[in-house]
């Protein structure tokens, strides 16, 4: 584990980003599939949180080329898009899965909430997906001018699926516009990724220390978190599905598994050991005073829904 005990201090002219949470629908999760020990009768209806991250500009010449914009204007980045706004937009296999996550709520969708809050979805410059599961990719077609960015290996998951079992492991190969989709660089020694805090691989997206992509493997190939500097010595970590329940972050629970009825033991993470390692790194990050927000943390959302878009964290 990276051994830095602190995050970089603000520079004299530090740029900060604004982060606004937006609920991208709701679905109901069975407790025992996510935490251990788990209650087989317990179920939680949770949000699928998305975030508008606004960089005020001017963007630096060091802005990563994957973002595609260096013209100095305000840059609007969505982190995740939640669920699709209509059930008819899901392929049959995923619709069958979602029907086992009742009660759920899909409407009004993220694009409509942006519009209502004064941001035209056409003005979103980029969408960074933490990963390509159905409850995070939302409606890409509602963002006609955005570049879609995923972690390394995620495009292959969309194109070819996974060999793993589980009704949630279905993917739409036509999900993203091919001319506007790109992967973050491969994480490799000597590459573009650098260590930061407890993480061995982060990418400074704007070149000014305001927003970092964090490689957080375990849940799905290419799984990525976002670390945002939102004020003087203030940070927020957007954790996607690194953990589904805050009791995993606190250490009260362990990652859950379940039996599929055919003799297979399943886990919500494709690599449980790597997911556990990512959680340990996030625990260290939390000790540094960073506000932690996972996509399905219903307790966090109930406490902070008053800070939803168009307000900021």
The order of strands in the sheet holding 291-293 is 194-196, 199-204, 211-215, 224-231, 234-238, 291-293
Rounded to whole angstroms, how far apart are CA atoms 307 and 85? 22
* CB distance 248 to 35 below 8 Å: yes
CATH class of this structure's domain 18-307 = alpha beta
Q: Specify the 3-state DSSP secondary structure of 151.
A: coil
- pTM for this one? 0.95
* CB distance 96 to 90 below 8 Å: no
List the single range of 128-132, 171-175, 187-191, 200-204 with lowest mean pLDDT. 187-191
* CB distance 148 to 172 below 8 Å: no
Mean pLDDT to the nearest integer, 239-256: 97
Q: What is the pLDDT of residues 154-185, one digit of tens each?
A: 999 999 998 766 788 899 999 999 999 999 99
The residue ranges of every structural domain in the chain are 18-307
Rounded to whole angstroms, how far apart are CA atoms 155 and 211? 23
């Amino acid at each position: 584990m990276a051994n830095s005990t602190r995050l970089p201090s603000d520079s004299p002219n530090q740029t900060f980003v604004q982060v606004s949470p937006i609920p991208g629908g709701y679905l109901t999760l069975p407790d025992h599939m996510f935490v251990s020990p788990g209650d087989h009768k317990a179920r939680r209806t949770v949000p699928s949180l998305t975030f508008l991250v606004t960089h005020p500009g001017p963007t630096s010449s060091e802005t990563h080329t994957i973002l595609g914009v260096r013209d100095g204007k305000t840059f609007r980045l969505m982190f995740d898009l939640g669920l699709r706004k209509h059930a008819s937009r899901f392929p049959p296999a995923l619709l069958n899965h979602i029907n086992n996550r009742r009660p759920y709520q899909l409407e009004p969708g993220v694009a409509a909430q942006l519009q209502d809050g004064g941001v035209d979805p056409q003005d979103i410059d980029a969408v960074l997906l933490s990963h390509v599961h159905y409850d995070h990719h939302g409606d890409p077609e509602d963002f006609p001018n955005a570049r879609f960015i995923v972690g390394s290996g995620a495009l292959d998951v969309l194109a070819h699926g996974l060999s793993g079992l589980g009704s949630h492991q279905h993917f739409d190969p036509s999900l993203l516009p091919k001319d506007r989709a790109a992967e973050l660089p491969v994480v490799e020694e000597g590459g573009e990724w650098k260590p930061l805090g407890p993480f061995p691989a982060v990418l400074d997206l704007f070149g000014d220390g305001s927003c970092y992509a964090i490689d957080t493997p375990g849940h799905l190939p290419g799984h990525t978190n976002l670390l945002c500097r939102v004020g003087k010595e203030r940070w927020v970590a957007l954790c996607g599905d690194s953990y589904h329940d805050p009791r995993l972050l606190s250490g009260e629970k362990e990652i859950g598994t379940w039996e599929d009825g055919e003799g297979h033991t399943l886990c919500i993470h494709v690599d449980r050991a790597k997911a556990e390692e990512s959680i340990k790194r996030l625990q260290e990050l939390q000790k540094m005073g960073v506000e932690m927000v996972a996509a399905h943390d219903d307790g966090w959302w109930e406490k902070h829904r008053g800070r939803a878009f168009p307000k900021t964290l």
